[in-house]
Structure 1
């Protein structure tokens, strides 16, 4: 493996992260304009680009850079919907778990003291049924992705449960955006990225993830009676 090429690939993705975070908006036009050049470079250095992009994505997730949509589109553009989805799920899950572990071992005590009532209630939910709560917040991103890397760290949730639930939960949404990235040449504006049907489908997946919790509560009530 030529690690110089891997480093170059990581720098390309890092540059896109920087572009995405300037002004806090998705630079859709730039990504679309450079589509041909990015695809040509990836074709010449496929393995290096895949490794470099995956490492850059994991690092961006670990340090909470707000560029997830652009990066996922880019991964779909460069590697296709299937490989792109797999790479993003691995990278994002590793990055999220690194953020989770850093928060647990560096900031947990201070964060617990400063958590407001809303986050305290959310943390108690993680304690009661960690896997399904993490699955829900990943399937239906009501809260920012970076925040949901931190809150579970202040509860007894294991790193393994966090990683697995995160990987499963982000897969549907990741596939949607990676698929859109692969189809980037046919998309005319950033407003076309997510339609109502896609949002409804993701919301239904989130509701389904809560069914085990509802079933468990119903069973406990029956036992008490």
Structure 2
């Protein structure tokens, strides 16, 4: 009886068979991998974020407790223009009788919302205009928006890199490339981004520490660049009774004012570009 011959498989054929098996596994419903395999934050990063949130929430709650008991039932974050009108009517007397407590509560709420990216700060800006007028309301809104954005900046510096890379990978790469090209005129470019809707302010707050934008440049660009949009919302708060929706904010007159203020702020960037091309 003849002895069986040893069977050998050509290495190239073996690799081909293996690739076909892998392809079949990838094509199967169970073999497909989700776009995001897992939540990007580690347990320690989640714990750090929750700790910061708890500290802010505790401080806000303590401030809330200093308010008169009669005001508790009617205080809530507005979600519509009608909600904002009712809140404004309720707070008008309170802001006059307890100005220090109201300012403290208003600023704390605004900064809390801005830090943790809670929608509704535009209603807070409208409320500032309705209660304090254009000049004082604008100062209040710009201060709070800048403080909240700065707080969000440092929160992102703590845990933001994996989260932003997970949510906006392409936008982050674009932003990083643009920052790398404009390191010498970074303040002017950041002013341009704040004045124009090129990138959302939320993304700028979160991505700035990730692409190594110095805080002093971030702070200066935020303070100056938020003035035009803040002016529009604060000014609209004076005519809150005539406002039907947020879309009504941007009429021709307010857009003209925004263009003029934005042109003044962005002028240094345009001037430097002109010198480069000459």
TM-score by length of 1: 0.78
Counterpart-to-counterpart distance in 1, 2:74 and 2:277: 51
Unaligned runs of 5+ in 2: 1-61
Over 3 Å counting, the alpha-carbon distance change for 1:66 and 1:203 in structure 2 is: farther
Unaligned runs of 5+ in 1: 21-26
SS of structure 1 residue aligned to 2:201: coil
Structure 2 residue aligned with 1:35:
88
Q: Report if the CA contact (8 A) 2:161-2:210 is conserved.
A: yes
Question: 1:126 deviation in Å?
Answer: 3.1
Between 128-137 and 93-102, report the one with greater CA deviation.
128-137
Over 3 Å counting, the alpha-carbon distance change for 1:179 and 1:50 in structure 2 is: same
Please give the per-residue CA displacement for 1:164-190, whole angstroms capped at 9, x wherever unaligned: 1101111122122112213324x1422
Please give the per-residue CA displacement for 1:130-161, whole angstroms capped at 9, x wherever unaligned: 21222122222343321121121222211111
Structure 2 residue aligned with 1:24:
none
CA root-mean-square deviation: 3.0
Counterpart-to-counterpart distance in 2, 1:159 and 1:6: 34
Task: Note if 1:101 corresponds to 2:154.
Answer: yes
Counterpart-to-counterpart distance in 2, 1:218 and 1:100: 32
Question: 1:62 deviation in Å?
Answer: 0.6
Task: Note if 1:8 corresponds to 2:8.
Answer: no
Question: 1:219 deviation in Å?
Answer: 3.6
Larger radius of gyration: 2
Q: State which of 218, 229, 235 in structure 2 corresponds to 1:173.
A: 229
Question: 1:115 deviation in Å?
Answer: 4.7
Between 173-182 and 84-93, report the one with greater CA deviation.
173-182
SS of structure 2 residue aligned to 1:154: coil
Greater relative contact order: 1 or 2 (C-alpha under 8 angstroms, separation 6 or more)?
1
Please give the per-residue CA displacement for 1:68-117, whole angstroms capped at 9, x wherever unaligned: 21110011122222221111111110110111111123222664587534
By percentage of residues, which structure has more helix?
1
Over 3 Å counting, the alpha-carbon distance change for 1:144 and 1:7 in structure 2 is: farther
Task: Note if 1:153 corresponds to 2:209.
Answer: yes
Task: Note if 1:91 corresponds to 2:144.
Answer: yes
Task: Note if 1:69 corresponds to 2:122.
Answer: yes
Aligned residues: 211
Between 192-201 and 93-102, report the one with greater CA deviation.
192-201
1:17-32 equivalent positions in 2, closer than 5 A = 19-20=78-79, 27-32=80-85
Over 3 Å counting, the alpha-carbon distance change for 1:113 and 1:51 in structure 2 is: closer
